[in-house]
Structure 1
């Protein structure tokens, strides 16, 4: 049966509807393994990032790229807790008819993926963690400090607004958008590597900051309530550093060498302490190796998956 791409909405047990895209479907083809991808940045990023990252797997996997509740085109139905997001992942697994699957999480999606792995490891064939951390109590303020002192934005950002962003105390939607736009450039690798990548891909340099989404084609649908809840309520309770050795599923840990948001040391910690993990550092990448070094990223991920 030929692989297809389809979009739909899937209703959760509380009535909330999630926007879902299935790559490499149909979803009913349970003979094909399943991968569920979790995007980062609640209330900001959407399925577009996951789709752009994992579309290459369509010949091999059914890939579910979806908007988490509170993000993109999915319902903005609280609560925006990790526990609720984990229930939604479970509902999608059941909807896809998979007993076990591979879970992939980028950035904030990695936080949720780690919590899922500790709650439902028996459901995982594998785990892919991309540029993430284990300690929500201290890491957000560390990220804030590195961002506002970055030469790319130092002296050009509203520091008080950035504090509200990273502590979950944004005052409105417009402030959310402004706070993100002013720091976009820090997510990319150094300028000389951006220029190198652009030359290799035949892309003219625009001087614009990196796109928020995977293909940059759609403006994010901001939901400041999800961002505030995630960083004021979820992060202070998110701490899995002492439980990493409980994760036995084969785990691929990916990080960009030049990521200042979730630095290499944080991924090294995960790889060193998880029970069955492999770390790959992308030497020419920032916060998203899937965008910065796509050919290498795809090779590494496919080799990992074929080895499961």
Structure 2
């Protein structure tokens, strides 16, 4: 079995921090895909990325399998660790799509070296052999520019390109620059990749992160990993498609940080739900305002309110928002009502539906409380800012 000589890229963090290796999605540069996440993790990890052959200036070599790519990633990590005088040290891993498939192969074949792995928008089998044969043939015949329109539909959820046009354009420019044969060789490797029957062999902690809007590796693909690998955990991100590290960098950074730090499953799920419902800006402010005095309380709320109740499947987030708004008015918790009104908008309630909920509280809770609640709602609904 050959070992591809992979190009590595320092992304962020000091070499005295624990090593986190991150892997790219097909057609992307690792620095573009993981750059912002790496910056957010720089205080906690030394983040190093690797490039697929023919991507991001990485040279082509002999043809390879996903298992051989995993060997190449281990060898690249060994070189980094050797420079730190820790040649036999462990490293953490996170990868998107084919990068996630390589991560899964790593924990199966090199569990002695990989501490934990976050697998993003990937699968134990991605697509089918026919898809990859056709894609490889198309690219070998017409180049990667033939994929641009389809990539724009697959890679991100509706609205992302309008919110972040510079990033979307840069990602497509990177795809255009990928060597056609390098891209096709990755297709060939994915054509033959299938470790579904080995998931029960996994002995390292895994976090599977799925984008709810991902059509390439849908939630079911990540659920299969989480259900088959002992102790693995699944987190689903609403409104996100196939490139979560660029679509939701703060959410990914938070999930990866907590998971790699050994946070329990409830805490990891709770932080994901908290960010999805309240928004990154609110959660970041709350974390920044925290202290040793409130740390245990924040952990309690994250695990049990967000990781237990908000994670239950019995009610939708929209329905839970209705229940929370009513309870906050009843308890006269008007400071929290303001950011939960914003959360209700995020969870799909309309302005008129929120008004109906508050009218209901006037009868069943009391007019004075509802009067104050409408005053709070006016500040939120008149600005229409769900952030």
Same topology, TM > 0.5:
yes
The whole-number CA distance in structure 1 between the counterparts of 2:216 and 2:60 is: 26
Q: CA deviation at 1:54?
A: 2.4
Does residue 238 of structure 1 match 2:206?
no
Does residue 286 of structure 1 match 2:286?
no
Structure with the largest fraction of strand? 1
Q: Give 1:187's aligned residue.
A: 155
The whole-number CA distance in structure 2 between the counterparts of 1:222 and 1:241 is: 29
The whole-number CA distance in structure 2 between the counterparts of 1:55 and 1:218 is: 20
Alpha-carbon contact 1:40-1:106 (below 8 Å) kept: yes
Larger radius of gyration: 2
The whole-number CA distance in structure 2 between the counterparts of 1:74 and 1:127 is: 24
* CA deviation vs aligned residue, 1:8-54 (integer Å, no higher than 9, x gap): xxxx987x57242242123xx3xx21110010105x53432122332
* CA deviation vs aligned residue, 1:237-262 (integer Å, no higher than 9, x gap): 21111111111211111111111111
Q: CA deviation at 1:131?
A: 0.4
Normalising by structure 1, report the TM-score: 0.73
Give the root-mean-square deviation of aligned CA atoms.
2.9
* CA deviation vs aligned residue, 1:120-159 (integer Å, no higher than 9, x gap): 0121110010000112472774xx9xxxxxxxxxxxxxxx
Cα separation, partners in 2 of 1:279 and 1:79, compared to 1, 3 Å: same
Q: CA deviation at 1:276?
A: 2.0
Does residue 113 of structure 1 match 2:125?
no
Normalising by structure 2, report the TM-score: 0.59
The higher relative CO (CA closer than 8 Å, separation ≥ 6) is in 1
Match of 1:41 among 26, 34, 37: 26
Cα separation, partners in 2 of 1:23 and 1:140, compared to 1, 3 Å: farther
The whole-number CA distance in structure 2 between the counterparts of 1:60 and 1:140 is: 42
SS in 1 for 2:37: helix
Q: Which runs of 5+ in 1 are unaligned?
A: 1-11, 145-162
Q: CA deviation at 1:274?
A: 0.7
SS in 2 for 1:50: helix
Q: Give 2:63's aligned residue.
A: 79
Q: Give 2:138's aligned residue.
A: 170
Q: CA deviation at 1:68?
A: 2.8
Q: Which runs of 5+ in 2 are unaligned?
A: 264-387
The whole-number CA distance in structure 2 between the counterparts of 1:22 and 1:291 is: 15
Q: CA deviation at 1:220?
A: 5.0
